[in-house]
Amino acid sequence: MKKALITGVTGQDGAYLAKFLLDRGYKVYGMTARRSTASLWRLEFLGIHEQVELIEGDMGDMSSLVRAVRVSKPDEVYNLAAQSFVGTSWKQPVTTAQVSGLGVLHMLEAIRLTDPTIRFYQASTSEMFGLVQQPIQSETTPLYPRSPYGVAKLFGHWSTVNYRESFDIFACSGILFNHESPLRGIEFVTRKVTDAVARIKCGKQKELRLGNIDARRDWGYAGDYVKAMWLMIQQDKPEDYVIATGTTTTVREMCQIAFEYAGLNMEDHLVIDPELYRPAEVDILQGNPAKARERLGWRAETPLRELIRMMVDADLQRVRAGESREIFSV
């Protein structure tokens, strides 16, 4: 039986990846950082909380990563843990650098020192393209991050390349464009919108305040994207891959889809709040997933409209069941 260690197992992707690997017969270890309140709701939502073996560890504490690797003895490590919210990265730039940047090096060192035959996946991001240098971004597009998060991820990305080239470690990066789901954190724009739409529909909220709705993103479904992570690590050679849908949509259009689906008029509820604009913006992202399609046989299967519907339905169900919003925002 193959064994995998997932850092960030309590996050959106961690939960979907754990389910994906369990369904393929893996023994799954999940690393979790100590929190004052439990953050296992996503694993519970997918019904896998009792099947994932949890190991305590923090990306800022390399000794805890060495311990996690020694205890789990994995064939594959998926490094998904991060301070992943771009907005927060301006308010906590040092923490972001330590967790999302230096943390990657901690894990690479833990692998190099413990067992360099372990295969490693790094959660890189389209945020590294930032101020885009080409209209459609691929594996060869120059990088130009626009936030402390993007800068931290750039360090993690190049550390992964460097450990592959220096120590012959099977280390690969997935450069994933935005991907969403009913398990998305409430602070990200798609989920903020679908949660608000559900609350407005149920009479529990009147307005939705957003920042820059002209920003464009290439949005896919997280459930599709975790498969690409696994496929990358099964190849003969470690390489980096762009994972995207290939289409780009404004925040305004995405929002419109959600309101329309619930039978609401967006203009009656949307308020633009300049306070929600970012110090520097990534105006547009559009990925070219050709390499992943040709080499991995992977493609995004869920259109944005279907994804947004899925998210609105899940939020309507939560609001109607009277579930606390807070438990979904941990």
* Part in contact with ligand NAP (CB under 6 A); list of ranges 75-83, 108-116, 254-262, 287-295: 75-83
Q: Is 207 a catalytic residue?
A: no
Nearer residue to ligand NAP within complex by CB, 134 or 329 = 329
Query: CA-CA distance, 269 to 110, in Å (whole number)?
Result: 50
Query: CA-CA distance, 156 to 160, in Å (whole number)?
Result: 6
Binding to ligand F7E by CB under 6 A, coded x per residue (else -) over 265-284, reads -----------x-x--xx--
Measured over the CA atoms of residue 253, residue 150, residue 108 and residue 68, the dihedral's sign is negative
- Report the residue from 210, 244, 258, 308 that binds ligand F7E according to the rule CB under 6 A: 210
List the interface residues with ligand NAP, window 164-183 (CB under 6 A).
176, 178-179
Sequence-ordered strand ranges (E) for the chain = 3-7, 27-32, 53-56, 76-79, 119-125, 171-176, 179-180, 208-210, 216-217, 220-221, 241-243, 249-250, 270-272
Query: CA-CA distance, 71 to 296, in Å (whole number)?
Result: 31
Q: Which residue is nearest to ligand NAP (CB)?
A: 11
Nearer residue to ligand F7E within complex by CB, 72 or 126 = 126
296 interface partner picked from ligand NAP, ligand F7E, none, CB below 5 to 8 A per type: none
* CB of 287 closer than 8 Å to CB of 218: yes
Q: Is 125 a catalytic residue?
A: yes
Q: Is 78 a catalytic residue?
A: no
* Part in contact with ligand NAP (CB under 6 A); list of ranges 6-14, 112-120, 164-172, 231-239: 6-14
Helix (H) or strand (E) segment spanning residue 109: helix 103-114
Residues comprising the chain, all counted:
330
Residue of 76, 127, 245, 248 marked active site: 127
Encoded amino acid at 244, one letter: A
List contacts with ligand F7E (CB under 6 A).
84, 86-87, 125-127, 177-178, 187-189, 192, 210-213, 215, 217, 251, 276, 278, 281-282
The binding site for ligand NAP (CB under 6 A) comprises: 7-8, 10-14, 33, 35, 39, 58-60, 80-84, 99, 123, 125, 176, 178-179, 185
